[in-house]
Chain A
């Protein structure tokens, strides 16, 4: 058993163990141990099984070089195939692709998915049904509708419309999302339908005013069922974003890191914020005593707007200290 560990250490010697490489090494360790156990189970001696398991891995050195960013194809194939519209880019570190902002729009254009006409027609029809049902329910609450049949139909119609819209929407491939598996999409649709049904029944019961139990018990059951189903689906939801969207999101996260890279900007932002809120509070008092308290809150709105402008300026504006060297973006 110890030989697996020694062989692994040997393979990873001479490279800086980044967190990614450490992660790879630990993953390989468990898999190697599993393979060794398999070999030993068929009677291969321990020392030989470790050696064989290791030799079967393939080109470990190339893998380590790729993962440590030294290899030839360190970038993902998706980013490698994406046309770089900017000037011939200088070699950049692998996690920080320099990409001009307009290529985000270009990527969105390239990955555009048009909705199916059938889906659009279905959603419009379901929307009309929902509108009709909502009108009936509003009239019921207002006390105009008195019978139980019409609100009941409206509740069913609203639930059907909601379920239809949610299910078919989730089954659609969009520019940024993959379609959901049909089982899960149906689950979301049924959950939404149950919640809408429950709310519609509560509304009907309140509007009609009589036989409350007959309305509220099924309403409660539908609501609880819907909430439970939706919570479970939400808790088990996995990624459905397309790769290009994730890439752009990662780049935008990197843009927000400017305060980490540039502590001066963070300190400036702190001082500006303090000044803005002190001035805003002073303006609040002045306005309150002169123009009246009804208008004094505008000072805080102005202060907030100013703070966001300063934040945007500090995060995305031009840097004055480019001459200091590292030209990061």
Chain B
């Protein structure tokens, strides 16, 4: 698989890559690593699930408890990802555009949810928002209970998803010229017009990437959610927990069936997000 042999054979898709050497090697590397790390385990998953057959999938999908768990997982992940993206863009903006004492520290703090074991995050959030917790107590006085129900899941997933949103838009904000805003202002744009017609469009593709990452991360999240959700069947039971329950029943096939359904749905949604992203990128002309 040496490049020297590959190049003279005039394979068109190799020549297209330009003058940079090492394409064959790099692609071979990428594909074999992807194969071992991603494709092989996924293939094993699909193989196991396929032993359930079509009716196995149909039975699982028609179970109201599974339906509710899937709806909950996808719904809350989507809402949490949207919220995290909105908050993330604003945080990224503040961290990139303004200089203030301690900015580096705040900037580093954004990454903490990446590094924290998720169970710790779940326990900490539950402690904070529980009816006798620091934030939970005043909320409880207002009659709001925000843990041990789907709102708890939302809180955990926003926490988990936030760094993805911040880190994907931050480099782009750094790239946007300040003069762009000034030019918009001198040309008579209002502040809102500047924000929505000058600043938001170039940020949109990156924000969408952050959204997709936060969403995907939220879907698979288990460790933090089970400590704050209450896990009541048909109320706050997430799909990953159903998988764990199936495993506890030694029902490996049942577990993989739910996993494959989740994977397929997640893939669909990520594909849609990617398409929107590609479209908005084309519209911006910076493909």
A and B together in one complex: no
Q: Which residues of B contact A (CB under 8 A)?
A: none
Q: Which residues of A contact B (CB under 8 A)?
A: none
